[in-house]
Amino acid sequence: MDNRKLSQGCERNIRDHSKVVTSNTTLTNIASVTKTNEFDNNTENDHANVTISVPAAADLTISKTANQTTVNYLDTVKFTITVENLGPDTATGVIVEDLLPAGFEWISDSSNGSYDPLSGIWTVGELANGTMATLEVIAKVMVSDVTITNVATVTSDIYDPNLDNNRDSVTIKVSKKPTPKPPKPPKPGEVPMQPTGTPLSLMVFAVLSIIAGFATSRKI
């Protein structure tokens, strides 16, 4: 800094704006003043410092995909959710919220019990820097003629310097149900079969009874 004179009883302030580029540590910033021409009879107050605690940080990112995005009624869809820790520190208490929206019925998942389909919570736990975790959820489509967006978000107990990549979604378009085809009209001269309401087994039994009665009458 400049070495201009400072009169007795005066003070000068300096503001320094710095960016923290580390984490999970303690930083001590020391400032000192020296004199070149005048005698200082008390050098004990020529130094000052401030200590800053920098917490751990973990930039978590999440992605969500589906094996198919245009489906039909009663089709199954496999959702894949991937969480990655971009660092610089280990993330603890990592949780993903991914509740299946209305229109999907949970079938199975690959979490071995860490995903709760009722709440949509996937408990990841600890995720080291540079590592990732993946969850696959298989669901059945229970609606038709609709568009459904499935959203997943990730959080942790550690400070996240970038929240823009903590959410992802995938949109599924469900087609209309096929319209049932009407019965074919009968051909000319053909009488269409009408339902009788009588079970086939009873009809067979009746025919056999008639045959048995006829055979008995012939013997007599």
Q: Give the pLDDT confidence of 3-39 residue by residue, as tens digits.
A: 566 666 666 667 777 677 667 577 677 777 776 667 7
Question: Which domains can be identified in the chain, with CATH numbers?
Answer: 58-174 (2.60.40.1530)
* Residue 217 confidence class, pLDDT cut points 50, 70, 90: low
**pLDDT over 70 at 174, yes or no:** yes
Q: Quick one: pLDDT at residue 187?
A: 72
Q: Quick one: pLDDT at residue 186?
A: 72
Q: Other C-beta atoms within 10 Å of 42: how many?
A: 6
* Residue 53 confidence class, pLDDT cut points 50, 70, 90: confident
Q: Quick one: pLDDT at residue 164?
A: 97
Q: Quick one: pLDDT at residue 55?
A: 78
Core vs surface per residue 1-10: b (16+ CB within 10 A) or e: eeeeeeeeee
Q: Quick one: pLDDT at residue 35?
A: 67
Q: Quick one: pLDDT at residue 1?
A: 52
pTM score, whole prediction: 0.68
- CB 78 within 8 Å of CB 137: yes
- CB 61 within 8 Å of CB 167: no
- Tell how strand 76-88 and strand 91-97 pair up: unpaired
Across 164-193, average pLDDT: 82
Q: Quick one: pLDDT at residue 178?
A: 75
User: Which region among 20-29, 154-163, 195-204 has the lowest average model confidence (pLDDT)?
Assistant: 195-204
Q: Quick one: pLDDT at residue 44?
A: 72
Q: Quick one: pLDDT at residue 198?
A: 58
Q: Quick one: pLDDT at residue 36?
A: 63
User: Which region among 18-32, 78-92, 111-125 has the lowest average model confidence (pLDDT)?
Assistant: 18-32
